[in-house]
Amino acid sequence: MMNDRLAAMQATIDDMVQEGRGVLAADESLPTMEKRFKPIGVKSTEETRRAWRSLLVTTPGLGEYISGIILFEETLGQKTDDGVSIPEAAARQGIVPGVKVDKGKGPLSGAPGDLITRGLDGLGERLQTYREQGARFAKWREVYPITRHNPTLLGRKANAEVLARYAAVCQELGIVPIVEPEVLMDGDHDIDRCAEVTEQVLHEVFHALHLHRVRFEYMLLKPNMVLPGKECRRAEPEEVAEATLRVLRRVVPAAVPSINFLSGGQGPEEATANLNAINQARGSAPWQLSISYGRALQQPALQAWKGKAENREAAQQALLERARLNALARRGEYDPSMEGAS
């Protein structure tokens, strides 16, 4: 039984961790989806969410650049316009379907300003259902606000414990966990403060994963890049790359097959440029350095779509182009002059 689980997870890793490909995060919660749709004048309903995510997974050629897609629980049971289940439509393109399994965040008692994510109760049973619906990996996010006092030691340890418990449950069922500790960009902190916090956070996360006997070979890490706060001076891609790689080399085990960065509030072009700089500076880094972008991949396509069926092809072309540029950045071959060139 254990060998079957390990074989299943290895197959998922092999399918997802490939040169030039990355993960599309399309797992927005209902409130987040409402925020995404509001600027383009679309009301968030079950049908509009289905139509949007159907558009994503049926984009011709997307599988060339995207190896996995994180779906919202609702989406696992929905179908494309052609009547194919959305997970199956993704799989037909060689895109591994996965699912967000956490249930949102709230205040952490005893640590003012820190947050904790809910959803561990019944996780095993939910994962079994998701697997039957086609999901082969899962994702759980913990968030860390930066202030003068946050995250606290309690906050870092409590969040790491939750991530480790989630990952252990996933691996017991043969499901690859994406572990997402996100140090938030909100605030006026500089890049050095972000580096300090990110290193502390990742240290606690991997310590907890080790205690819970999570096998690093069968997980993916989805961290933030090391960036200054939104209210601070913007950092150049070379600064981001240097700071990010320094932190990762200090705390991420070489056994982890891939680090798939979140975009975390960066614009599409900024996220691609920073990924490119990281890969240009990677040297002998032992991991693949890829993406698990949500808004930074979807935003141009959303703006082209605007909820109208006649804009479907234009939206898909915008998504495909953004994915292609990030594939180039995966190899360190992106240049800003490529924007809008095709």
Give rounded-to-5 percent helix, strand, coil for the chain.
50, 15, 35
Residues 156 and 180: beta-carbon distance below 8 Å: no
Residues 6+ apart with CB under 8 A from 203: 251
pLDDT digits (tens, 9 = 90+) for 186-202: 999 999 999 999 999 99
Mean pLDDT of 270-299: 97
Say which DSSP state 79 is in: B
Q: Is 88 helix (H, G, I), strand (E, B) or coil?
A: helix
The average confidence (pLDDT) of the chain is 96
What's the pLDDT score for residue 1? 65
May I ask the CATH class of domain 2-330? alpha beta
Strands 66-71 and 96-100, how do they pair? Answer: parallel
Given 139, 161, 222, 242, which residue is catalytic?
A: 222
* Domain boundaries along the sequence of the chain: 2-330
Kindly state the tokens that stand for 22.
Answer: 């990355």
Q: Clarify whether 222 is annotated catalytic.
A: yes
Phi first, then psi: what are they for 100, rounded to 5°? Answer: -75, 130
Mean pLDDT of 83-99: 98
pLDDT digits (tens, 9 = 90+) for 23-43: 999 999 999 999 999 999 999
Given 28, 142, 161, 180, which residue is catalytic?
A: 180
